Structure 1
């Protein structure tokens, strides 16, 4: 099954139910990837929210006609409307949760005539970086977002997020520098046999990589990043 334009009407029902009780949430996952990065298939909707409002959200969705259920995972809950699944996610791999900053950086968009709040591109990228497991497309989703956002991508904010898992983010950035110009990774490319053309920083600024290396080498994995010092380093 793949999400269609008609399914966004169901997303609207879910959003309306949560809006009616004032539950803060945002759409992420594949829907956000399509909005900020590449056009790819997505089979459901992912709603990100805090655990503190989870039960209120599930009750509201039940009253709106959804069938809700817990799962064996303590970070994932489900709401069904017929065959359409809406995942309620309170945490992703690495212990990454929604914060006030995540909410402030979310944006209101319109898709197929439906208006909803979507997670900002940098927050989507960070979650894609931490979520990667074998067989998943998360890192290439993240690459597509960086490539499409170009100069508008907020690297300072990604570095701020990376303080939680700097080695993971650094590993992704080094991988991305070898993949950004690869025809096989381009959403519109049909080339299958070429992995990459060679190491190149591409649209990933070298100062971002060096900042993470410096943080890990000099300050330890959880040394706080000072945004003012970052700005000075970038200018230098």
Structure 2
């Protein structure tokens, strides 16, 4: 499959000391032959040309490689912590840090071998590295719909800059049972860029709208009282699970999260840290 040309990355947007830390970390991982992929603002700049300052460097790794990465970091005198065991670790050099991502915050997209296929290559801060595929980047951004952060514009820009190069069948497969989220973003893309709706394959829109029509024609769902909104926002649907008795979508088989993961991730919400008296979401989910 052809790939879009990669735009320059973010050398000018990173402070020199921070860039030196990132550069050293990237070279250590390359030399140690530990699989990783650059994501976040660096990858987004490569795929879209949108340059913006970033507070960190996002690296996608497999969970089973974390201990090796942590050992390398500690040998350099840096700190390494498994911040949220279900999806995120961090490496610190003073105030600077690197995010090591091995799942999504909602537990839907664990990083596995499929992420490391046919990745584009780019120089990031002068280090030749592999970049997370645009499809995986789009998938990870599609579910970020917090009150304080919504990545829908990033999704639209990824499509606008790469529509002819995206693996659309692979993207549909990645979304799997969450195809309504993909349809929502594609519908918004057609609204945002009305003159470019044709760049999304017609077969894909036909497939998704046919699924929607078929599902809408079915009798009321016999599914349990589930709120999947928590897969989109860890905070904005807590009322549904805490007060209205909905089953948390993160505790259904679509997610890898456990009750402890949900509780810890909920406690990390900034508003909860400011007011510890706020309730933590009650446990309860569906058996796999």
Please indicate, yes or no, whether the TM-score normalized by the shorter chain is above 0.5: yes
Detail structure 1 runs of 4+ shifted over 6 Å in the superposition. Answer: none
Q: What is the alpha-carbon distance in structure 2 between the residues aligned to residue 216 and residue 98 of structure 1?
A: 29
Q: 3-state SS of the aligned residue for 1:176?
A: helix
On the 8 A contact 1:178/1:200 being kept in 2, the answer is no
Partner of 2:14: 4
1:27 corresponds to 2:38: yes
Structure 1: gaps spanning 5 or more residues: 182-198, 221-236
Query: 118, 121, 126: which one pairs with 2:134?
Result: 121
Q: What is the alpha-carbon distance in structure 1 between the residues aligned to residue 103 and residue 70 of structure 2?
A: 16
Size of the aligned set, in residue pairs, is 202
Q: What is the alpha-carbon distance in structure 1 between the residues aligned to residue 214 and residue 33 of structure 2?
A: 44
Query: 100, 106, 109: which one pairs with 1:96?
Result: 109
Q: What is the alpha-carbon distance in structure 2 between the residues aligned to residue 11 and residue 164 of structure 1?
A: 37
Q: Which has the larger radius of gyration?
A: 2
Query: 205, 209, 215: which one pairs with 1:209?
Result: 205
Query: 168, 185, 191: which one pairs with 1:178?
Result: 191
Q: What is the alpha-carbon distance in structure 2 between the residues aligned to residue 156 and residue 8 of structure 1?
A: 37
Q: What is the alpha-carbon distance in structure 2 between the residues aligned to residue 30 and residue 130 of structure 1?
A: 17
Q: Offset of 1:103 from its aligned partner?
A: 0.5
What CA RMSD, in Å, does the superposition of the two structures yield over aligned residues? Answer: 2.5
**Aligned pair in 2 of structure 1 residues 96, 72: CA closer, same or farther (>3 Å)?**
closer
Structure 2: gaps spanning 5 or more residues: 1-11, 219-288
Structure-2-length-normalised TM-score: 0.63
Identify the range of structure 1 (29-38 vs 146-155) with the bigger mean alpha-carbon deviation: 146-155
Structure-1-length-normalised TM-score: 0.75
Q: What is the alpha-carbon distance in structure 2 between the residues aligned to residue 216 and residue 163 of structure 1?
A: 14
On the 8 A contact 1:29/1:45 being kept in 2, the answer is yes
